[in-house]
Chain A
Amino acid sequence: MDTVTLEPSLYTVKAVLILDNDGERLYAKYYDGTYPSVKEQKAFERNIFSKTHRTDSEIALLEGLTVVYKSNIDLFFYVIGSSHENELMLMAVLNCLFDSLSQMLRRNVERRALLENMEGLFLAVDEIVDGGVILESDPQQVVHRVALRGEDVPYSEQTVTQVLQSAKEQIKWSLLR
């Protein structure tokens, strides 16, 4: 292991996962054959969740893979790469995913909001990672490219909801700290 030099490659990301606070899969995209069957994938997700959901520590080594993660309210975001991979690259992907979603969901990154905007999530991940290659790492660009059409809610009303939601968000955060 020590002498293995990385084969220079753009294939950086092995998987992107989003789980809820019961460890259930909300979104999972595996980019290579590390876990070929759904059964193996779910087992891996269970393992990953059991090892990470109690601690808020960003990074872990599991089943020989580097896992960077982030949790917010009732969501857990994971980006998985080889244990030889540059951890900061994986972190860049994770941050980009989170920040893009945060903008798209107007800072309201929680399970319900995410489920109401699944198409936005699908499109965003598609813009961030393509077949394991990091496609974009700038959240602004991602949001711009996803170009999610405004909700059907009237504009004036939307801002009110937005204000309320962000206020709610603030309170939640202050409670959590």
Chain B
Amino acid sequence: MIKKFDKKDEESGSGSNPFQHLEKSAVLQEARIFNETPINPRRCLHILTKIIYLLNQGEHFGTMEATEAFFAMTRLFQSNDQTLRRMCYLTIKEMANISEDVIIVTSSLTKDMTGKEDVYRGPAIRALCRITDTTMLQAIERYMKQAIVDKVPSVSSSALVSSLHMVKMSYDVVKRWVNEAQEAASSDNIMVQYHALGLLYHLRKNDRLAVSKMLNKFTKSGLKSPFAYCMLIRIASKLLEETEAGHDSPLFDFIESCLRNKHEMVVYEAASAIVHMPNCTARELAPAVSVLQLFCSSPKAALRYAAVRTLNKVAMKHPSAVTACNLDLENLITDSNRSIATLAITTLLKTGSESSVDRLMKQISSFVSEISDEFKVVVVQAISALCQKYPRKHSVMMNFLSNMLRDDGGFEYKRAIVDCIISIIEENPESKETGLAHLCEFIEDCEHTVLATKILHLLGKEGPRTPSPSKYIRFIFNRVVLESEAVRAAAVSALAKFGAQNDDLLPSVLVLMQRCMMDSDDEVRDRATFYMNVLQQKQKALNAAYIFNVRLCLSVSVPGLEKSLHQYTLEPTEKPFDMKSVPLANTPITEQKTEFAPVATSKLPEKPGPTRQDIYQEQLAAIPEFQGLGSLFKTSEAVQLTEAETEYVVRCVKHTFARHMVFQFDCTNTLNDQLLQKVMVQMEPSEAYEVLHYVPAANLPYSQPGSCYSLVRLPEDDPTAVSCTFSCTLKYLVKDCDPNTGEPDDDGYDDEYVLEDLEVTVADHIQKVLKPNFAAAWDEVGDDFEKEETFALASVRTLDEAVGNIISFLGMQPCERSDKVPENKNSHILFLAGVFRGGHDVLVRSRLALADGVTMQVTVRSSDETVVDIILASVG
């Protein structure tokens, strides 16, 4: 250590830090000379500097010693040395929170703030406000008002800024100074103007009208200060957002006019404000983008950084608007500031063409190790977006990602990479093996439990179906030996999946399981024992039910299960609890496309809240007419029954129960001179459906949505009648009312309004269920009720279109990512899974072949024969 210092001294040719070895106690000892007369300004100054230096280094001062030093310091006000006095102010501010009784210097400070020495006045005000509380503030109120309008800028600025600090504490007092602040706002000094504007806004920000008036005034009169302009732009864009004013508002014009300001700071602020506005059109963005483009070639790094960062944000929503800047961005990819280069490249990745990808990736990999984690995440997100856009580039990306995975980095960064690789694997079957290999390598040395378990789960899902599953076993079993409990348990589950699907691996998996049963953690032991027993049965159906498609935890909604179980315990019966009565979660663990939030820094995993369906279930259960329908099976998406811009807007949500359907009509009255009462929708079914009840909405005032319901019984004698068309009419009692007060007339008249027809289709009777392993589920259901038929879809031209039609028609969940048709193929197999009303599993395998239209062979399996018939009948 000492040697190091010596060396440095030689190098710089100077003494080392004179404050290096300061001892707090020694400094406080020295502070006693404050009491000597006459005061020695030089020595005292030096000691005060030392005290502030110590405070600045984070040294802790006890209350006692701080108070003592503070009181000694107060004596220094007797000296007229300027610097010493200024250091006293600083000491007061620094010690305001540590020492006791700091208010004893109030009178000295008040004297300085009203004195003749301009150099003292500003700092004295700031020091005084630092130690003042609400009650004392009233005593100095007069001085503060005077100071705000003082002609010396430093005094006025100090008073304004101090007032701003005090707003938090004593809003009511500071509010009374608004006239003085107003006067200061017209000052010639740029900083005074800025501070006055800031204070005025803080005092008025809850009064939208006052803010808008203030904006109006300042945008007209013009300001001198660039800082004040920036502030004004922010206020204007906030007001625009709150009032949701269109972009033809004068405020928008003002922001746009700031793009021509002579200060870069203002121009940038305006451009950034426009870019961040929601729903900006490409045309409105264009001027902002073109000034940012100019900034890209600025010699100032900060300006280039600001510009390219903002362009990057534009590129997320409007890549085409940024294409014009591609050339300038190209120049930035070799920028010496890596942040700028990274942002330029990720922006180009969003706007550029497929051909430039290789070059850009090469460029970025040359310096990826030098950039901070935040930017690495930005890069990964750009790559992920790119993979969805250009799936053919996956090998380049995969290579790059695996290199990134090997580098050091924090959790957020690694998670972004893993998510990205997983999404590539799911999008591109060809990349599966390389991707899995990279991930295997990663978990060999992974400190993040969450990521390790996630990857193990993926390995269990995908590994057994690769050409050589045995090579993954080693990686998985290594985890059992080396990792924490959570990872070990996940590894056991993954192993079981290999054993269940690969007969030749089964004996070795069983041996490994045997070992896991000796684990020190009970969860690991339990899992191992459970899987061991299931696997030893060697029954496909058992494997499918308990290892791959674990129905219990995958497909029922947890709040629904809770409710059903509670209900069951309340009504004592002989019957065992029926899992099928539990509503299914209507959003099964979907294979969502990972939509990254732009530059997401940290996103917590979503909490499993009640689903939309659970909320509806709750609402319906509250209506007495709908008691005894059983639990809600499926809720459809809302269907519009009116055009968007009509007098009354009606949407319908279809709720399916075991033997009934409930139609919920959400109505909105858009006429402000009418009150509707007894609103209901009359329904005329085309088939043997029977309307049992109407539940009208009692009142429907202007712009407050209300719901009315219809209860319909499904035909029992003909279970195959799943589709039906209802002609609907809205019936109600109209009362005219005063548009301003909403006061209705006493008399009303009946009226009706014809709505569009409502269709019930087979999809309303089927709930989507994701079977992670379709083949196993197929075997589990068995071929007891299997039927097969061939159809020709003449009107369909491509396989993609056919797949989309079938999915939306049947309303079933595509499995194994079979909804994605590989390019340039003439045939495809689509796997669909669902549960029919009443709780019967339905699986559909549909082989498609393309030749002058699409030929489709549909095979349906279900645990119930009628269901099979229904599906085939409805397809035909």
Contacts and interface: CB of A to CB of B under 8 A. Distances in A.
B119 A145 contact: yes
Nearest to A152: B42
Given A9-B198, A89-B227, A137-B227, A131 B161 contact: yes
B374 to A, nearest CB: 5
17 contacts: A1-B598, A2-B276, A2-B597, A8-B234, A10-B231, A41-B58, A61-B339, A86-B272, A87-B306, A88-B264, A88-B265, A88-B269, A111-B14, A115-B18, A122-B49, A141-B154, A146-B86
B601 A62 contact: no
Contact of A59 (B14, B157, B162, B301): B301
B161 A10 contact: yes
Interface of B: 12, 14-15, 17-19, 42, 45, 48-49, 52-53, 56-58, 81-83, 86-87, 90, 93, 119, 122-123, 126, 153-154, 157-158, 161-162, 164-165, 191, 194-195, 198-199, 201-202, 205, 227, 230-231, 234-235, 237-238, 241, 264-265, 268-269, 272-273, 276, 278, 300-303, 305-306, 313, 316-317, 336-340, 370, 372, 374-375, 597-601
Contact of A119 (B17, B83, B205, B336): B83
Interface in A121-143: 122-123, 126-127, 130-131, 133-137, 141
A149 B83 contact: yes
Contacts of B599: 1
What is the interface of chain B mostly: helix, strand, loop, or mixed? helix
Contact of B82 (A4, A38, A88, A149): A149
Given A10-B164, A42-B58, A130-B158, A135 B191 contact: yes
| 8 interchain residue pairs of minimum CB distance | A57-B337, A38-B58, A10-B198, A58-B301, A8-B234, A112-B14, A88-B265, A87-B306
A116 B302 contact: no
A8 B374 contact: no
B367 to A, nearest CB: 11
A130 B374 contact: no
B601 A64 contact: yes
B787 to A, nearest CB: 51
A51 B122 CA distance: 38
Given A1-B600, A2-B276, A135 B87 contact: no
A8 B201 contact: yes
Nearest to B14: A112
Contacts of A27: 56
Contacts of A105: none
A88 to B, nearest CB: 4
A136 B225 CA distance: 12
Contacts of A74: 12
A20 B122 CA distance: 31
A123 B375 contact: no
Interface of A: 1-10, 25, 27-29, 38, 41-42, 51, 55-64, 68, 74, 86-92, 110-112, 115-116, 118-119, 122-123, 126-127, 130-131, 133-137, 141, 145-149, 152
B235 A8 contact: yes
B589 to A, nearest CB: 27
A2 B12 contact: no
Nearest to B86: A123
Contacts of A86: 230, 265, 268-269, 272, 306
A29 B338 CA distance: 27
A148 B230 contact: no
Contact of A5 (B82, B201, B237, B264): B237
Nearest to B201: A8
Contacts of A29: 56
A57 B338 contact: yes
B45 to A, nearest CB: 6
A122 B12 contact: no
A39 to B, nearest CB: 9
A146 B162 CA distance: 19
A6 B317 CA distance: 19
Contacts of B227: 89, 134, 137
Contacts of A55: 336-338, 370
B82 A8 contact: no
A136 B300 CA distance: 22
B161 A135 contact: yes
Contact of B302 (A91, A111, A135): A91
A40 to B, nearest CB: 11
A47 to B, nearest CB: 9
B87 A8 contact: no
B310 to A, nearest CB: 10
Nearest to B48: A119
Contacts of B205: 8
Nearest to B130: A131
A38 B59 CA distance: 9
Contacts of B83: 119, 123, 147-149
Contacts of B164: 10, 133
Nearest to A116: B18
Contacts of B93: 126
A152 to B, nearest CB: 8
A115 B56 CA distance: 13
A164 to B, nearest CB: 13
Contacts of B237: 5
B297 to A, nearest CB: 16
Contacts of A91: 300, 302
A88 B238 contact: no
Contacts of A6: 234, 238
A55 B372 CA distance: 13
A92 B265 contact: yes
B238 A123 contact: no
A136 B157 contact: yes
B198 A118 contact: no
B89 to A, nearest CB: 8
Contacts of A146: 86
Among A29, A89, A130, A149, max chain B CB count under 10 A is at A130
A119 B337 contact: no
Nearest to B211: A8
A115 B265 contact: no
B58 A118 contact: no
Contacts of A1: 597-601
Contacts of B202: 9-10
A123 B301 contact: no
Contacts of A130: 126, 158, 161-162, 165
Contacts of B338: 55, 57
Among A4, A41, A64, A87, max chain B CB count under 10 A is at A87
B860 to A, nearest CB: 46
Contacts of B313: 2
Contacts of A63: 374
A137 B265 CA distance: 13
Nearest to B53: A118
A88 B374 contact: no
Contacts of A92: 265
Given A57-B337, A136-B157, 16 more contacts: A1-B598, A2-B313, A2-B598, A4-B276, A8-B238, A10-B198, A57-B339, A59-B301, A61-B374, A74-B12, A88-B269, A123-B87, A126-B90, A137-B191, A145-B119, A149-B83
